[in-house]
Amino acid sequence: MNTTAPAVLELHDVTFRRDGRSILDGIELTVRAGEHWALLGPNGAGKSTMLGFCGAMTFPTSGTVDVLGRRLGRVELQELRRHIGHVNPRHPVRSPLTALEVVLTGLTGTLEPPMRWEPSADETRRSRELLDTVGLADHADARWPTMSQGERGRALIARALVAEPSLLLLDEPTTGIDVAAREQLLETVDDLSHSAPDLASVLVTHHLEELPETTTHALLIAHGRIVASGDIAEAVTTETVTAAFEHPIRVERDGGRWSARAVRDRRDAAARA
């Protein structure tokens, strides 16, 4: 762990309550430049709420959240959010925009190109370069409604990167795509460690198979509390995943990729312990 790299995200003793119900309790997280974190846990564990803190979209009930060195509650949020790239596969594009136009909206932080706004030649060039980077050089003029979900996911990564953010958030980016498209998207994410070595990222998922090979750290959460956190090889184990998902699950890693399988009976669990 490179403890000398600057902290991009710091959550300290964070709690969050909604309608009197505890959603998160005692969350601690520090993400440094160049680190790639995974937030893992079952549905309803609190992952999306945590990502809301990371994206300066949600405020904690108590505790402190510092994003890019600025504390939530003491900073102008719109300016801060311009330095955060967000990949959401449910991105609600309603107009038949081209892939290039969707990428360009990452510069304005809007769903549609603003009226009377024209990108500069340099902005357009960079957007095309990013489409090339994510393998969509030939799809710049493709209309959003005709693009596959996998193509949309890669275009949204380009959109998130066009404003040169310091932090990239990926909210279940492989949702709704087939295995080939998933692998293409994960390769795109892996390539970022070379093309943007100082970029920090946080990826939310509940499937170990969806973790990019370049994932460096993980935080496992269940019922709003941390089960394990740290270097991915130490945080993601059969024991921690079993505890987080409250079901006997065998975890394996092969060639940098992870897999999880249910342990069918106690004898099987004992044999593989």
What pLDDT, on the 0 to 100 scale, is given for residue 99?
A: 94
Residue 207 and residue 263 share a domain: yes
Report yes or no: 186 and 180 within 8 Å, Cβ to Cβ: no
Query: DSSP label at 101?
Result: H
Residue 95 included in any domain = no
pLDDT at residue 136 is higher than 70: yes
The beta strand positions in the chain, using DSSP E, are: 7-18, 21-32, 36-40, 62-67, 70-71, 84-87, 167-171, 200-205, 217-222, 225-231, 249-254, 257-262
Report yes or no: 253 and 232 within 8 Å, Cβ to Cβ: no
pLDDT confidence tier of residue 265, bands split at 50, 70 and 90: low
Report the CATH number at residue 13: 3.40.50.300
- Could you please report the per-residue DSSP string of 237-249? SHHHHHHHHTS-E
Report yes or no: 230 and 217 within 8 Å, Cβ to Cβ: yes
Structural domain total, the chain: 2
Q: Where are the alpha helices (DSSP H) in 75-178?
A: 77-81, 99-108, 121-133, 149-161
Q: Tell me the mean pLDDT in the region 124-147.
A: 92
pLDDT at residue 273 is higher than 80: no
pLDDT, one tens digit per residue, over 28-84 is: 999 999 999 999 999 888 898 899 999 888 899 999 999 999 998 888 887 888 889
pLDDT confidence tier of residue 268, bands split at 50, 70 and 90: low
pLDDT, one tens digit per residue, over 67-81 is: 999 998 888 887 888
In angstroms, the CA 108 to CA 158 distance is: 14
Q: Tell me the mean pLDDT in the region 237-247.
A: 95
**CA dihedral sign of residues 107, 67, 231, 194:** positive
What pLDDT, on the 0 to 100 scale, is given for residue 75?
A: 81
Nearest CA among 163, 205, 173 for reference residue 87: 173
Range of the domain at 120: 100-164
Residue 186 and residue 241 share a domain: yes
Q: What is the pTM of this model?
A: 0.87
Residue 239 and residue 109 share a domain: no
Backbone angles phi, psi at 190, to 5 degrees: -60, -40
In angstroms, the CA 243 to CA 272 distance is: 17
Residue 250 included in any domain = yes
